[in-house]
Amino acid sequence: MKAVLNMDRVNSVNTDAIGSAVFQMLDRLQHIPNEEQTVAAAVVVLLMCERYKANPEEIFRAARNLVAHAEGERDERLTAMRWFLKYEHKE
């Protein structure tokens, strides 16, 4: 089976589902040192891109676009994630 991502779907993901997944990942990662959290998150992206034959740069571009759009819309999920990282996420 050929595992390939549909970039049209990547660029139009459900932001509610993304927000929920991000919160779950942040919650799980907070119990390890900050440096390990950051590298672990990057490794997950690289492994997922390898598995689904996606270019990591395109995936990060889609993520940056999603964040920029959310900022422009003053999206409550993005605000909540940033608040969680700043005030609740363990260092």
Could you give the maximum distance between any two Cα atoms of the chain, in Å? Answer: 43
Q: Which pLDDT band, with edges at 50, 70 and 90, does 79 fall under?
A: confident
Could you tell me the pTM of the whole model? 0.80
Task: With a cut of 80, say whether residue 2 has pLDDT above it.
Answer: no
- Percentage of the chain exceeding pLDDT 70: 93
Q: With bands split at pLDDT 50, 70 and 90, how would you rate the model's confidence at 75?
A: confident
Name the residue ranges covered by the structural domains of the chain. 7-88
Is the per-residue pLDDT at 89 higher than 80? no
Helical H segments across the chain, by residue range: 7-10, 15-29, 34-51, 56-72, 76-83
pLDDT for res 54:
94
Query: Which two tokens mark 61?
Result: 């571009």
